[in-house]
Amino acid sequence: MPNLKSIKRKISSIKNTRQITKAMKMVAGSKFKKNQAAMNEYKAYASVYDGIMDNIKNNSVLHLHPFYGKNDGKDRKTGGNIGIVIISTDRGLCGSFNINLFKLFNEEIKSNGLDEDKIKIYVLGKKAYDFFKKNNYDIAFGMLYSDGDSILNTAGLLCDTFIRDFKNNVIDDVYIISNHYISTLQQRAYSEKLLPIKPSDNSVSGKSGGYLIEETTAYENEIIDTIFNNYFRTKIYYKILESFAGEQASRMNAMDNATRNAGKLINKLTAAYNKARQTAVTLEILDIINGVNAVK
C-alpha cells in the first residue's frame, strides 16, 4: 500500500512547482509583449534596408567589392573555412527553442558535407556558447547578452568580427542560424547565407534599381562600405530582437504546459491518496470487527 505521507509530500511539492511555473509564465508573457513590440517597430526599418540592398546589390559596378566574394578581381577559393553565426539565448526553460538551432546546425553540416575542422563559430547567447565549447568547435566570437552594454552594440561587435574575417580571407562563406518568429505558438529555426553577396536571379545585371553608382573613388568606396556594414548590423540586430520575442513566447508556452502537467499530476496523486486512505480506513474497520468477534 502506498505511503500516505509520501503521497502528501509529493502533492505539496508539485503544488509549489506549479506556483513557480505559473509565475514564470506571467513574467514571460509580460516580457513577450515588450519584445514583440520592439521587434515589430524595428521590422519596418529592416524591411526598407532589405529593399535598398535588393536594388543596389545587382549593380555590376559593385561586383568587384570584397563582399561579393571577389578580392582584387580573383574569386575566393572553394572548400575554404565556413563562418556560422548562431543566435541563441542566455537562459533555458524555453522548450526546444535552442535545441532546434543545434539540430539544424548538425543537419546543415551533414547535408552539405561540411568539414567540422573548417567551421568557425560566431555565437551570441550562453546556451549556444556552452554547446559549441563542449563539442570542441572553433569559437571565433562568443558573447553573452549580459556582457554587452546594449544589444545594438553587441550586434555591432558581432558584425565587425565576421566582416573583418571575411575580408581577410579567414572565412570564405558566412551563414546565420537563428529562430524565425512566426507566431506566439510557433518559432522555426532556419539558416540563411550572408556572405558573399549574391545578385538576385530575377534582375537584370548592370542595373541598380534607380540608384546611380559610378566608377568608384576612395570616397565612394567608403559610402558603399558604410551601406553594406549598416545592412549587416541592421539584419543581425533584427534577428536578435526576433530571437528575444520568440524566446519569451516559447518560454511562456513551456511554462503553460508545465503548469497544466503539474495540475494533471496533482489530480492523479490526489486520487491515489484518496484511494490509499480509503483502503487504510477499510482495513482499520476490519481490524475492529475482527477484534469484536474475537471477544465474543
Give the model confidence (pLDDT) of 149-203 as tens digits.
788 889 999 999 999 999 888 999 999 999 999 998 899 999 999 988 877 655 4
CA distance 293 to 296: 5
Spell out the domain ranges in the chain.
Answer: 21-255
Phi, psi (rounded to 5 degrees) for 223: -65, -45
Q: What would the mean pLDDT of 55-69 be, rounded to a whole number?
A: 73
Give the burial string for 54-69 (b: 16+ CB within 10 Å, else e).
ebbbbbebbbebbbbb
H helices then E strands: how many in the chain?
Answer: 5, 7
Output 219 or 142, whichever has higher pLDDT.
Answer: 142
Pick the CATH number of 21-255 from 3.30.420.40, 3.40.1380.10, 3.40.50.150, 3.40.190.10: 3.40.1380.10
Between 70-84, 183-197, 214-228, the lowest mean confidence (pLDDT) is in 70-84
Mean pLDDT, residues 254-283 taken together: 90
Instruction: Supply the mean pLDDT for the chain.
Output: 85
Could you tell me the pLDDT band of residue 220, with boundaries at 50, 70 and 90? low
CA distance 235 to 159: 10
Q: Which of 145, 37, 156 is nearest to 88 (CA)?
A: 145
Residue 219, all three cell numbers: 570616397
Q: Quote the pTM value.
A: 0.83
Nearest-angstrom CA–CA distance, 87 and 180: 11
Q: CB neighbours of 76 closer than 8 A, spacing ≥ 6?
A: 69, 70, 169, 172, 196
Share of the chain above pLDDT 70, in %: 85
**Separation of alpha carbons 55 and 63, rounded Å:** 14
